[in-house]
């Protein structure tokens, strides 16, 4: 059986699993395994498993003529209804729900909203800092790769023109230097990515909303 956490069904009739229908005042509310409803202004609470929710929906959704016919067939007398409600209360410890259970909890205060906003922007700022670190490391690598490609092109041009290696030793030295720097730049990207992933993992463990990390 599915656990229904919260459900409200606008209806004037509640159908039990044994097929009996009870006229109710306006709607039934199902929450935490119990169904609450009013009969003649009195609030009742019974186990949700005693209620046929699908049949209740079907009865309410039927066309008006069919609904009236169904009511005349299923309606119980007032004395039978009262007896049934008493039996439900005795057999399943059903009882009118306390007023406190139906109260809507207050929303966050202005101070709580301000703190939430501050926390959100703090996490967003940290996430952007890690993302910026990855971008900078990638840009540094791109510059090294681009400069190395330019130097190779220059050296190739000198060779095609018949220049001797000692005539473009500067370009050769610079190319060697760039090539030495590339592995380190690649490592910086990997480190920045690991730090970012660790940050996101820590945030998830602390229950941070995923949207705050973008």
Answer yes or no: do 119 and 153 share one domain. yes
pLDDT at 108 over 90: no
Strand partners, 28: 9, 37
- Say whether both 90 and 115 belong to one domain: no
Distance CA 118, CA 174 (A): 48
Q: Is residue 1 in a domain?
A: no
Sheet containing 34-39: order of strands:
6-10, 27-31, 34-39, 42-47
Statement: the pTM of the whole predicted model exceeds 0.75? no
* Farthest-apart Cα atoms in the chain, separation: 114
Same domain, 46 and 12: yes
Distance of CA 91 to the CA centre of its chain: 39
CB half-sphere exposure, 80, CA atoms < 13 A: 8
User: Does residue 98 lie within any of the structural domains?
Assistant: yes
Q: Please identify, among 77, 102, 127, the residue that sits at the C-terminal boundary of a domain.
A: 102
| Tokens of residue 108, six digits | 């966050």
| Positions of E strands within the chain | 6-10, 13-15, 21-23, 27-31, 34-39, 42-47
Domain count across the chain: 2
State whether 125 and 64 are in the same domain: no
Domain that holds residue 184: 110-213
Residues 87 and 115 in one domain: no
Listed ranges 50-64, 136-150, 200-214; the one with the highest mean pLDDT: 136-150
pLDDT per residue over 26-58, tens digit each? 788 888 888 888 887 788 878 888 888 888 787
């Amino acid at each position: 059986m599915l656990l229904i956490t919260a459900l409200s069904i606008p209806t004037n009739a509640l159908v039990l699993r044994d097929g009996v229908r009870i006229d109710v005042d306006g709607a039934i509310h199902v929450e935490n395994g119990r169904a609450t409803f009013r009969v003649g202004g009195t609030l009742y609470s019974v186990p949700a498993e005693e209620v046929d929710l699908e049949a209740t929906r079907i009865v309410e959704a039927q066309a008006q003529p069919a609904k009236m016919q169904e009511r005349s067939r299923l309606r119980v007398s007032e004395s039978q209804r009262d007896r049934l409600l008493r039996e439900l209360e005795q057999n399943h410890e059903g009882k009118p729900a306390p007023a406190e259970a139906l109260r809507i909890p207050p929303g966050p205060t202005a101070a709580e909203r301000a703190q939430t906003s501050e926390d959100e922007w703090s996490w967003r700022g940290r996430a952007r800092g890690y993302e910026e670190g990855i971008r900078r490391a990638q840009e540094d690598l791109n510059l090294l790769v681009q400069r190395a490609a330019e130097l190779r092109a220059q050296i190739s041009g000198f060779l095609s023109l018949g220049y001797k290696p000692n005539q473009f030793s500067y370009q050769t030295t610079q190319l060697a230097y760039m090539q030495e720097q590339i592995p380190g730049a690649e490592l910086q990207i990997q480190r920045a990515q690991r730090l970012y992933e660790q940050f996101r993992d820590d945030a998830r463990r602390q229950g941070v909303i995923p949207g705050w990390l973008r």
